[in-house]
Amino acid sequence: MVSVDLKRDRVLLRWGTQKYEWCIEPRYWRNPTFGVAFLLILPLFFFSYPHLLTMLTTANLLAALAIPLSLQILGTARVNFGPQFYLGIGGYTAALLNLSFGWNPFFTLLGTIFVCGSVALMLSPITWIARGLYFSLITLILPLAFLDLTYQFGDIFRGEVGLFGMSPLFDLGRVKWNYLSYYYLSLFLMLLYLLGAHKITKSRFGVSLAAINENENVARMMGINVSFYKVIYYVVPSILTGIVGWFIVHTFRSFAGVTYLPLEFMLKVLFIVIIGGRASVFGAVPGAYAVSIIEEALRSFGHISHWVFPLVLVAMIYLLPRGEGLWGLYKKRHPRDYYPKMHVRRE
């Protein structure tokens, strides 16, 4: 029935025809453990700096936006220039359900998942009919059109003011404890996305994705249902993006499309993907932290930071290994620390 095999570098568990394996060789799990431990203890240094704790929370959320985007780029073989559209859909859904119907954060989360999933499913055929520049342009327009709607339907979305006064996720009685718990919750969300994305890229599903990414026609000839995969990889990351909107609504307690829907916000997420390293979903984490920390550091320089910040980001893109970013820089020095897996080429 169930058999357990202890190999040199892994534990194998067989149950009927199913096989599960866990890597136990230290060099494969040491660095991720250190990384997660570092992120877990990081707030201890920033407990007296609640604003920096908020910055780190925002960095986690930015990473949580970049991870599904990376996965979506891989799975649909298309660059989505408007993932913040679903951030807006998720945020406004959670806010409206909370303010209008008094739903608590758990039910607004369910509502957010449902609405984001439904909207993404309705729009998913664009992954079939458009590719390359056309797909990017369509996805670019979606959040901008939604932003216009927030003005036109001001009764519902309250235009530039946005919605505010939503109930918090929880209240521990002390604001510092609340902010600390928001950090850990955002970290949990980000790590969950990261783990999920990593598992997917390593699985059989990931092999199919790699094939689609390389050449859709060849993938189709191999028997992969390309259309189905593309819908899945458009809908699921859209839902994950919407959940970040839900999180923002119940932690910041105000949500205005004018902040999240314009192109500037999307550019920041794209910069995170590229600086972190678009060749790996792990790149989103160093990318988000680097961009957030640099932005915060440059803010003390006053208004010159408004043009210095983008220059620094452009310089980083130029100086870091092309396509590999910060993650690639690190990985190159520790090539044996990574479990061998199929390499997905990304142009």
Partner 1 sequence: MNKARIFFIVLAVVLGLTLGISPAMAQKGKPIKIGFMGNLSAPFSLSAQAAAKLAVEEMNASGGILGRPVELISEDTKGEIPKGIEVYKKLVMHNRVDAVVVAEKVEMGVAGAQIGAELFREFPHIMFCTIGGTDDIWHLVRDNYDRYKFAFHTYYFVATHYLQILGGQILPDFHKNYIGSKKIALLYEDMAWTQPIRRGIPGVSPSLKDIYKSKGFDVVYEATISLDQKVFSTLFDDITKSGADAIDGVMGYIDQASFIKQWAQSSARDIPWFFWGGIAGMPMAWKMTDGMIAGGSIGSSFVKVPITEKTIPFMDNMIEKYKVGPIFGSHTTYDTLFGYRKALQQAGDTKDIEKVIHELENVKETAVLGTIGWDAKNHHNLPYPAYVTPIVQWQDGKMVPIYPKNIATGKFMSPAKLRK
Per CB under 8 A, residues contacting partner 1 are 48-52, 54-55, 58, 148, 151-152, 154-155, 158-162, 164-165, 168, 174-176, 178-179, 248, 252-254, 256, 258-259, 265, 290, 293-300, 302-303, 305-306, 326, 329-330, 333
Q: How far is the CB of 149 from partner 1 (least distance, A)?
A: 11
C-alpha distances (whole Å) from 114 to each of 90, 175, 189, 236, 238 are 9, 31, 18, 11, 11
Please give the structure tokens belonging to residue 97: 């359900």
Report CA torsion sign: 108, 111, 117, 122: negative
Phi-psi region of 203 (alpha: psi -120 to 50; beta: other; left: phi over 0): beta
**Residue 202: which of 80, 321, 325, 74 has the closest Cα?**
74
Taking alpha carbons only, the member of 260, 239, 221 closest to residue 71 is: 239
Q: Which is nearer to partner 1, 195 or 298 (CB)?
A: 298
Q: Count CA within 13 A, CB hemisphere, residue 335.
A: 1
Closest CB 146 distance from partner 1, rounded Å: 14
> Taking the complex as a whole, how short is the minimal distance between the CB of residue 236 and partner 1, in angstroms?
25
Q: Which is nearer to partner 1, 54 or 136 (CB)?
A: 54
User: Considering only CA atoms, which of 111, 102, 96, 98 is closest in space to residue 162?
Assistant: 96
Q: Which two tokens stand for residue 324?
A: 């590999």
Least distance to partner 1 from the beta carbon of 274, Å? Answer: 16
Residue placing its CB nearer to partner 1 in the complex, 71 or 95? 95
CB of residue 242 to partner 1, shortest distance in Å: 17
Q: Which residues are 18's β-sheet partners?
A: 15
Residue 102 φ then ψ, to 5°: 70, 20
Least distance in angstroms from the C-beta of 334 to partner 1:
10
CB nearer to partner 1: pick between 151 and 339: 151
Nearer to partner 1, 122 or 156 (CB): 156
Q: Is 292 helix (H, G, I), strand (E, B) or coil?
A: helix
Residue 122 Cα distances to 116, 118, 169, 234, angstroms: 10, 6, 30, 11
Nearest residue (CB) to partner 1, 210 versus 244: 244
The nearest distance, CB 346 to partner 1, in angstroms, is: 22
Which CB atom, from 63 or from 226, has the smaller least distance to partner 1? 63
DSSP state of 337: G
**H-only helix segments in 5-160:** 26-46, 50-76, 84-101, 105-123, 126-129, 132-152, 154-157
Maximum CA extent, the chain: 67
In the complex, the smallest distance separating the C-beta of residue 299 from partner 1, rounded to whole angstroms, is 5
Shortest distance, position 256 Cβ to partner 1, whole Å: 4
CB nearer partner 1, residue 130 or residue 298: 298
User: Tokens at residue 113, please?
Assistant: 């998942």
For partner 1, which is the closer residue by CB, 209 or 266?
A: 266
Q: What is the arrangement of strands in the sheet containing 10-15, beginning at the earlier edge strand?
A: 2-6, 10-15, 18-23
